[in-house]
């Protein structure tokens, strides 16, 4: 840009010098005012430079970034849940996809405005048979139209970090001591099923880092139609964690309103990382269900997983409860899930993950579900 400015100034300077050379004997000090001419030229060049800079910056601010991810999955499940009319695959080969856009902007360098937009047809555990076999994969399943999946703003508050968001988890700033990163929707929560409150409308929270390994956090979530009112369901949770070089532990407590009752949950999580890269994670959650009339008294969930580098990728395996187990006069048996996966990075932006899992049937007449599937993930 300095060269561009010089090229514009040069003709103006030559134009001033030309009449001086032609009539040198008639020039007086009042006839030659280059400073004024140069000031006008510089002002015009600075204005043009500012316009060019604005054009180069485009419509995004300099602190705005965008990331994209696409997941493709293919697989089949053998088994049927007779409590519903939906067949869990029945060995039919099925396919699904998920797409996500994450936008991040900072206004002060210490804050962050985050927006997630996604689409997909991943299905749910009781969704359409066309995609239900792939429901255990963590695929976007809301709609094939792009939908805002969450908006949050994180900012410093004194010595703490706070956030407010819509369609965002109240546990956004929680630290869960688990390093297992399995691809399934069930076991990746490390048995922190209900204590780590999720799926809220309006959510708020704050976290504080003591800079010695200890962290603590608070979160709450409400419905948009009624914030902290008796007529709506609210959830509140607190979290504390300690993280060292090779291990970590955490505890999470939540009070979850469900209609006219309050359920409370407490989850314990921990992990240990060996020098050879192997990680072991475990979790246990217990809930006190305040149902009216009292049918279930308590709920339980537990999990143990192992993962680490094997060859060029990561190998992992886990076992745990399929969701939570509730006491109902012994009518609901323990329902376990087992999985094994291998995550192989083809390059920096592409990863292939095969998964094999089994879910026990929830009654004597239900078959076990066994799924074999492969997910290919792209990030850019």
- DSSP secondary structure letters along 331-380: -S---EEEEEEEEEEEETTEEEEEEEEEE--SSTTSPPEEEEEEEEEEE-
CA-only gyration radius of the chain, Å: 30
- The pLDDT assigned to 212 comes to 96
List, in sequence order, every residue forming a beta bridge with 209; answer none if it has no partner. 215
Judged on CB neighbours under 10 Å (0-12, 13-18, 19+), 69 is middle
C-alpha span between 301 and 324 (Å, rounded): 5
The tens digit of pLDDT for each residue in 63-81 reads 899 999 999 999 988 875 4
Nearest of 74, 52, 53 to residue 62 by alpha carbon: 53
Place of tokens 């187990």: 325
CB 284 within 8 A of CB 302: yes
Q: For residue 112, what are the contacts with CB-CB under 8 A and spacing of at least 6?
A: 104, 105, 106, 153, 154, 155
List, in sequence order, every residue forming a beta bridge with 115; answer none if it has no partner. 103, 151
Token code pair at residue 28: 């007086």
**Measuring CA to CA, how many Å separate 355 from each of 190, 253, 281, 318, 369?**
17, 32, 19, 11, 14
Helix (H) or strand (E) holding 74: strand 65-78
The tens digit of pLDDT for each residue in 97-143 reads 999 999 999 999 999 999 999 998 876 544 443 445 677 777 776 67
- The pLDDT assigned to 17 comes to 40
- The pLDDT assigned to 3 comes to 37
C-alpha span between 87 and 274 (Å, rounded): 42
Helix (H) or strand (E) holding 318: strand 313-321
- The pLDDT assigned to 339 comes to 96
Mean pLDDT of the chain: 81
The tens digit of pLDDT for each residue in 135-178 reads 777 777 667 889 999 999 999 999 999 999 999 999 999 999 99
- Domains of the chain are 2-55 (no CATH), 63-379 (2.40.160.10)
- The pLDDT assigned to 271 comes to 98
- The pLDDT assigned to 283 comes to 98
The tens digit of pLDDT for each residue in 266-320 reads 999 999 999 999 999 999 999 998 765 555 578 899 999 999 999 999 999 999 9
């Amino acid at each position: 840009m300095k060269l561009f400015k010089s090229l514009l100034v040069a003709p103006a300077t030559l134009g001033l010098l030309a009449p001086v050379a032609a009539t040198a004997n008639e020039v007086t000090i009042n006839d030659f005012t280059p400073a004024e001419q140069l000031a006008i030229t510089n002002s015009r060049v600075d204005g043009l430079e500012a316009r060019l800079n604005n054009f180069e910056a485009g419509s995004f601010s300099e602190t705005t970034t965008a990331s994209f991810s696409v997941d493709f999955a293919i697989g089949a499940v053998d088994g049927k849940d007779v409590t519903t009319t939906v067949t869990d695959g029945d060995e039919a080969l099925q396919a699904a996809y998920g797409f996500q856009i994450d936008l991040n902007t900072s206004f002060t360098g210490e804050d962050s405005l985050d927006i997630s937009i996604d689409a997909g047809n991943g299905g749910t555990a009781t969704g359409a048979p066309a995609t239900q076999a792939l429901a255990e994969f963590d695929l976007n399943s809301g709609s094939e139209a792009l939908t805002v999946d969450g908006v949050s703003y994180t900012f410093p508050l004194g010595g703490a970090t706070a956030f407010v968001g819509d369609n965002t988890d109240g546990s956004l700033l929680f630290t869960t001591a688990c390093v297992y990163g399995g691809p399934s929707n069930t076991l990746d929560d490390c048995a922190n099923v209900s204590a780590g409150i999720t799926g809220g409308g309006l959510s708020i929270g704050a976290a504080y880092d003591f800079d010695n390994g200890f962290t603590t956090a608070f979160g709450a979530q409400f419905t948009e139609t009624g914030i902290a009112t008796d007529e709506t369901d609210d959830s509140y949770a607190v979290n504390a964690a300690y993280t060292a070089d090779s291990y970590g532990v955490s505890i999470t407590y939540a009070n979850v309103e469900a209609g006219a009752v309050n359920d409370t949950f407490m989850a314990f999580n921990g992990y240990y990382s060996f020098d050879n890269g192997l990680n072991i994670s475990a979790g246990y959650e217990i809930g006190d269900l305040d149902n009216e009339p009292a049918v279930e008294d308590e709920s339980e969930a537990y999990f143990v997983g192992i993962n680490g580098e094997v060859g060029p990728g990561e190998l992992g395996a886990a076992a745990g409860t399929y969701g939570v187990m509730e006491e109902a006069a012994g009518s609901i048996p323990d329902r376990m899930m087992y999985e094994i996966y291998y995550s192989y990075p083809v390059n920096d932006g592409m990863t292939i993950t095969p998964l094999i899992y089994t879910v026990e049937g929830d009654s004597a007449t239900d078959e076990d579900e066994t799924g074999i599937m492969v997910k290919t993930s792209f990030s850019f």
